[in-house]
Amino acid sequence: MLKGKTIVLGVSGGIAAYKAAAICSKLKQSGAEVYVIMTESATKFIAPLTFQTLSRHDVIVDTFDEKDASVVSHIDLADRADLFVVAPATANIIAKMAHGLADDMLSTTLLATTAPVLVAPAMNVHMYEHPAVIANMKLLGDRGVLFVEPGTGQLACGYVGKGRLEEPERIVEAIERYFAEKQLLHGKKVLVTAGGTVERIDPVRYLTNDSSGKMGFAIAEAARIMGADVTLVVGKASAYIPPGIRTVRVQSAEDMLDAVMERFGDTDIVIKAAAVADYRPAETATQKIKKKDEAMTIQLVKNKDILQTLGQHKTTQFIVGFAAETENIDEHALDKLQRKNCDLLVANDVSQEGAGFGYDTNIVRIYDGNGLVEALPIMTKQEVARRLLLQVAERIKKGD
């Protein structure tokens, strides 16, 4: 799986730096080309010569130690990487990554790379739980950075808790899984809708909902990681839109329908995660409506159902719908799947804590025509997206 892959391994200054030698060795044994960048602090825990011997390449510590005059080292390595791994990742390097600091070779190269980045944190349990560290990791996660969570156990400082660098075998497995999954949707064209829609009452007022776009964005990013050609159709959203993905901005349900149908014929997979308004004002005032009476009546008319329209027009497309429910989840989900001719339907109870609009986590149930396929416990929306796309990829492979 790793043969011919180029992996840049960043080693930052924690006691777990010695474990990075085992990671380097295992990656090399698996056929990868490994280039190691160390921080100055990391060299206090383990010598660069160790990594040079294991990787068979020069180890770079100093940004200004240019050994090859034909290239600029940090740009060359940034461009060369198929995957950038930071292990161990201290709170310090995580903060630098989150805020774009570039004051040494490792942080400078990380800022220059366009390769996917996988981070394996390692630090004291209280540091790992500090609000600043949590916020920095969340920011990186929103940008598409992958994480291998630390283990729980005896830490070098004497504490027992979460913060110990995951074992080298598990980190290498995560790297291998990344490259394996990268091929699952290779060559497939995926269209994802995300966010809420805006239905104008007048130039300053509108009807909308609480959708942040987080779930749809996580799906788009996961599909890109799995090798798909992704188009993201986005309505009103407050979350960070993942970079490097073709994005079409829309406002109303009608706008979203037009954008989706325009691209539908040339799409393999459609995942409709947007929260689309069921109704819109019958008339939109061209000027701001002035306050006059004690009450105001707005007549609403039904929007055309995007998911149902897709189901009616599909030929070879694989369609995934979403259903935000508050009761009778199984019954409503299966009914919607059948009525709208979906291949899979993802339902969640938005009244549950940690699920639905605005949260970074979700709790979903995935259905096909035969009923419940998988019930996922509370997990990050990124992991929900990955698990959903594994289901999609498996079914498409069987169909092929």
Write the pLDDT tens digit of every residue in 187-200: 999 999 999 999 99
Contact 165, 120 (CB under 8 A): yes
**397: pLDDT confidence band, cut at 50, 70 and 90?**
confident
Domain that holds residue 259: 189-399
The better pLDDT of the pair 76, 258 is held by: 258
**80: pLDDT confidence band, cut at 50, 70 and 90?**
very high
In a domain, 1, yes or no: no
Contact 373, 344 (CB under 8 A): yes
Whether residues 207 and 343 fall in one domain: yes
| Catalytic center residues | 157
In a domain, 131, yes or no: yes
Residues 318, 323: Cα–Cα separation, whole Å: 17
Write the pLDDT tens digit of every residue in 250-293: 999 999 999 999 999 999 999 999 999 999 999 999 999 998 88
The yes-or-no verdict on residue 341 having pLDDT over 80 is yes
Q: At what angle do helices 91-99 and 105-112 cross, to 10 degrees?
A: 40
The yes-or-no verdict on residue 363 having pLDDT over 70 is yes
Helix (H, G, I), strand (E, B) or coil at 154: strand
User: CATH code at 155?
Assistant: 3.40.50.1950
Comparing 92-106, 199-213, 351-365, the range with the smallest average pLDDT is 351-365
Q: What pLDDT does 202 receive? A: 94
In a domain, 125, yes or no: yes
Write the pLDDT tens digit of every residue in 117-144: 999 999 988 899 999 999 999 889 878 8
**72: pLDDT confidence band, cut at 50, 70 and 90?**
confident
Whether residues 307 and 353 fall in one domain: yes
Whether residues 64 and 168 fall in one domain: yes
Write the pLDDT tens digit of every residue in 282-325: 999 999 999 888 888 999 999 999 999 999 999 999 999 999 88
Contact 30, 3 (CB under 8 A): yes
* 14 backbone dihedrals φ, ψ, rounded to 5°: -135, 165
Say which DSSP state 33 is in.
E
The yes-or-no verdict on residue 164 having pLDDT over 90 is no
The sign of the torsion formed by the CA atoms of 140, 146, 152, 153 equals: negative
Whether residues 158 and 203 fall in one domain: no
The sign of the torsion formed by the CA atoms of 208, 304, 251, 361 equals: positive
pTM higher than 0.85, yes or no? no
Provide CB contacts within 8 A for 172, sequence distance 6+.
Answer: 23, 26, 27, 30
Q: What pLDDT does 74 receive? A: 87
Whether residues 209 and 314 fall in one domain: yes
Domain count, the chain: 2
Whether residues 22 and 71 fall in one domain: yes
Question: Which of 98, 142, 177 has its CA nearest to residue 380?
Answer: 142
Q: What pLDDT does 240 receive? A: 81
Select from 148, 182, 216 the last residue of a domain: 182
Whether residues 178 and 243 fall in one domain: no
The full DSSP string for 234-288 is: E-B--SPPPTTSEEEE--SHHHHHHHHHHHHTT-SEEEE--B--SEEESS--SSP
Whether residues 146 and 25 fall in one domain: yes
The full DSSP string for 194-240 is: ESB--EEEETTEEE-----SHHHHHHHHHHHHTT-EEEEEE-B--SP
Write the pLDDT tens digit of every residue in 220-242: 999 998 999 999 999 999 888 88
Contact 85, 77 (CB under 8 A): no
In a domain, 136, yes or no: yes
* 66 backbone dihedrals φ, ψ, rounded to 5°: -85, 115
List beta partners, residue 191: 231, 270
Amino acid at 221: E
Q: Find the helix or strand (DSSP H, E) in which 248 lies.
A: strand 246-249
In a domain, 282, yes or no: yes
**108: pLDDT confidence band, cut at 50, 70 and 90?**
very high
In a domain, 330, yes or no: yes
Whether residues 168 and 198 fall in one domain: no
Helix/strand/coil percent split, the chain, to 5:
35, 25, 40
Report the pLDDT averaged over residues 378-384: 90
Structure tokens given for 7: 């992996």
Q: What pLDDT does 133 receive? A: 95
Rg (CA), the chain: 24
User: CATH code at 360?
Assistant: 3.40.50.10300
Amino acid at 391: Q
Is beta strand 344-349 parallel, antiparallel or unpaired with respect to 205-207?
unpaired
Whether residues 146 and 221 fall in one domain: no
Q: At what angle do helices 214-225 and 381-399 cross, to 10 degrees?
A: 50
Alpha helices in 286-368 (DSSP H): 306-313, 329-339
Q: What pLDDT does 87 receive? A: 96
Select from 182, 210, 228 the last residue of a domain: 182
The position carrying tokens 């691209």 is: 263
| High-pLDDT (> 70) share of the chain, % | 98
245-261 CB burial, b ≥16 within 10 A, e <16:
bebbebbbbbbbbebbe
Structure tokens given for 22: 């085992």
Whether residues 80 and 14 fall in one domain: yes
Average pLDDT, the chain: 92
Write the pLDDT tens digit of every residue in 18-45: 999 999 999 999 999 999 999 999 999 9
Whether residues 40 and 17 fall in one domain: yes
The yes-or-no verdict on residue 400 having pLDDT over 70 is no
Select from 147, 182, 217 the last residue of a domain: 182
In a domain, 394, yes or no: yes
